[in-house]
Every structure is written in structure tokens, then in C-alpha cells.
Amino acid sequence: MTREISCVVAPEDDGRLVKRVARARLGLSHRQFTSLKQKNAVLLDGAPAHADVIVRAGQRLSVLLEEEETGSAPASYGPVNVVYEDEDILIVDKDAPLACMSGLDRPGDSLEGRLTGRYGPGYVFRPVNRLDKGTSGLMAIAKHAHAQQLMQRALHTADYLREYAALAVGSVEPASGLIDAPIGKADGATVRREVRPDGKSAVTHYETIAAGGGYTLLRVRLETGRTHQIRVHLSHRGWPIAGDFLYGTEDDRLPGRFALHSAKLALTHPITGEQMVFESSVPDVFLNMMK
């Protein structure tokens, strides 16, 4: 599969070199540009162009991104809730419990397997942000390596906002605030994380939406992206997420999952530059538990 991305040379770029404009306007790394140039995949007005050619305003500069189909996940055929799709990105609303990735240590159904079933053998799964098996909600997935690179570059910046709905056990005081506590792997653990002074910086913003039934529904925004960050931070403050078997207590009303949902994604499209916002409703089970 080949994806062409291009731009029209702006007046301010008149007289610059192909390599400078391609990297600045199309977001290519030095390594990417060099690889594309060797394949004659850098085009100026439709013809292969050398790196040091001078461009003129109004010319069209393009690159041809060729994707090699190398995916190997076994296909599965469960539903995929596609919120948005174009040539470059895919936004899905993931079920829970459902693993993101397939693997020898993760047999069975996965979002990667379902997308392989949807797109066919060789599909390459390129998640921009991942969700735990027990977390539902919005995820961004790139459809080629260049889009993935640009979007991952935007993670933890104003160009990529993630908000979650979290149902916490107990009363949250103060009702809104910021948790700034470093997170690292717990001693002797393979998965479990904890707040510890030698951990990596982690910042979580939270705000109370509603309360009832011994629970507090929070809107949570990540400033950093540590493993299990929301789960660790809320548990550390004494407000574990309902159903969280690792940092709290399992709940039969949340089979195989816990009460954390990716409710909002606001991002800049990696190719068009369009500002995009996607929202997903809080699962009914969260609201029912508060009654």
C-alpha cells in the first residue's frame, strides 16, 4: 500500500532546498527523508527530485510512503466500534475487557486481532496510545508508520489531549486537584507500579463530576503517560478505581474490567493539521453503581 502526502510550496519557502521543505512541512525525520530519496519517492511536481534542488512557490512537493505488510497477529472477528477513519488514522472505541495487543503471552481475542480480521492478513497494528485490557474507550491508531511517528511525537503535548472517566471508591477530597507523584515498578513485581521517590515524574489532573452510592465519578486528564498512571495515583490517594483487581478490589458488576474509560481525545491530524475532538459516553455500569 502506498500513501502519497504532499504540500504546495508556500511563498516563505521559495528558494529553499527540497530536503529542508520536506522535513519542515511534511514532518519527515532525516532518516525517513534519506530512505525515501534513495527510493526516488521524493517528488517535485510529480517527478523525482534531488535533495538539494531549489523549490519555487506554487510547486507541489510530495513523498510516497510505501507500507510493507508484515503483521502477524492471528485474526479474530469480534466487533470493532470505529468512530472515525481516513487514509492516515483510525479512532476506535475499545471494549473492555479486551487486550490491545496479541502475543505469545497474550493468547486469545485482542483489538489487534480484530483489526487483522477487518483489514486482512499482513495488517500492521500501530497504536498511538494503548489502553489496559480492563479499560474501555477511545484509542487512536495510525494507518502507516509516518502518521504513527508524528502522533507519538505529539503525545503529552497540547496537540494530543486525553481525558478519562474514572469511578473512584469513596469520597474524593479535595473535589478537584493535581496529583504530582513519581511512579516506578514495585520491588519484585513484573506489572505492578507504585508511587516511589526514585520513579519517573507523573502528573495527573482530576475533577469531580458526580458522587453517589459510596463512589465518586472523576474526570481525569493525563499530563504524563506512565504505566497504570491513573490507577496508581488514585489508589495512592486512597481512592482506588472500582473493580481494580491490582490496586483495589474486584467487583462482580465489572467482570474482567475496572471502572476506567477513555472518554475524550482531542488531537491534531498528523497529515492535514486539522483539529479533531472525539468523545465517548461514560458506560452505564459506572452510573448504575452510583445509584
Domain CATH code at residue 6: 3.10.290.10
pLDDT digits (tens, 9 = 90+) for 117-144: 999 888 899 999 889 999 999 999 999 9
Rounded to whole angstroms, how far apart are CA atoms 264 and 60? 36
Q: Same structural domain for residues 109 and 250?
A: yes
Assess whether pLDDT exceeds 80 at residue 67: no
Mean local confidence (pLDDT), 141-166: 90
pTM of the model: 0.84
Residues 279 and 186 reside in one and the same domain:
yes
Question: Residue 220 belongs to what domain range?
Answer: 82-290
For residue 76, tell me if it sits in a domain: no
Q: Which residue, among 18, 8, 24, 5, has the nearest Cα to 57 in the 3D structure? A: 8
Q: Specify whether 199 is located in the same domain as 269.
A: yes
Per-residue pLDDT at 238 exceeds 70: yes
Task: Report the pLDDT value the prediction gives residue 127, as an integer from 0 to 100.
Answer: 95
89 and 138 together in one domain: yes
Residue 72 lies in a domain: no
113/142 same-domain check: yes
Q: Answer yes or no: are the C-beta atoms of 155 and 115 closer than 8 Å.
A: no
47 within a domain of the structure (yes/no):
yes
pLDDT of residue 263: 98
Give the pLDDT score at 158. 82
pLDDT over 60 (residue 258): yes
Query: What pLDDT, on the 0 to 100 scale, is given for residue 104?
Result: 57
Total count of domains within the chain? 2
Catalytic annotation, residues: 132
Q: Say yes or no: 41 and 177 in one domain.
A: no
pLDDT in tens, 71-91: 667 888 899 999 999 999 999
Helix axes 30-38, 18-26, angle to 10 degrees: 120
Q: Specify whether the CB–CB gap between 139 and 127 falls below 8 A.
A: yes
Of residues 249, 241, 272, 276, the one with CA closest to residue 138: 276
Give tens-digit pLDDT for 1-58: 678 888 899 999 998 999 998 888 888 888 888 888 888 888 899 888 888 989 899 9
The 10s digit of each residue's pLDDT in 169-192 is: 999 999 999 999 999 999 998 899
pLDDT above 90: percentage of residues in the chain: 67
**Mean pLDDT, the chain, integer:** 91
Same domain, 160 and 204: yes
Q: How far apart are CA 3 and CA 175, in angstroms?
A: 47
Residue that terminates a domain, selected from 15, 42, 66: 66
Q: Check whether residue 146 and residue 275 sit in a common domain.
A: yes
User: What pLDDT score was predicted for residue 105?
Assistant: 57
Distances (CA, A) of 163 to 31, 138, 160, 263, 278: 33, 10, 10, 6, 10
Which one of 12, 42, 66 terminates a domain? Answer: 66
Q: Which pLDDT does position 33 carry in this prediction?
A: 84
Q: At 86, which CATH number?
A: 3.30.2350.10
Q: Which of the pair, 114 or 70, is modelled with greater confidence?
A: 114
